Amino acid sequence: MHIAEGFLPAAHCIAWYGISTPFAIQGFRRTGQALKGDSNQRMMLAASGAFLFTLTALKLPSVAGSSSHPTGVSLATLIYGPPVTTALAVIVLLFQALLLAHGGITTLGANLFSLGIVGPWAFLAAIRLFGRHQRSDWAIGIATIVASLATYSTTSLQLALAFPDAHGGVLASFLRFGAVFAVTQGPVAVAEALFTVLVVRALGDFVYAYR
Q: List, in sequence order, every beta strand (DSSP E) within the chain.
A: 60-61, 67-68
Residue ranges and CATH numbers for the domains of the chain are 10-208 (1.10.1760.20)
Cα(99)–Cα(118) distance, integer angstroms: 24
Comparing CA positions, the residue from 168, 185, 167, 144 lying closest to residue 1 is: 185
What is the CB neighbour count within 10 angstroms for residue 157?
Answer: 18
pTM score: 0.90
pLDDT tens readout for residues 123-152? 999 999 998 888 899 999 999 999 999 999
The upper half-sphere exposure of residue 108, i.e. CA atoms within 13 Å in the direction of its Cβ, equals 20
User: pLDDT band at residue 102, thresholds of 50, 70 and 90?
Assistant: confident
**Section 12-23 average pLDDT:** 97
Phi, psi values for residue 148, rounded to 5°: -65, -50
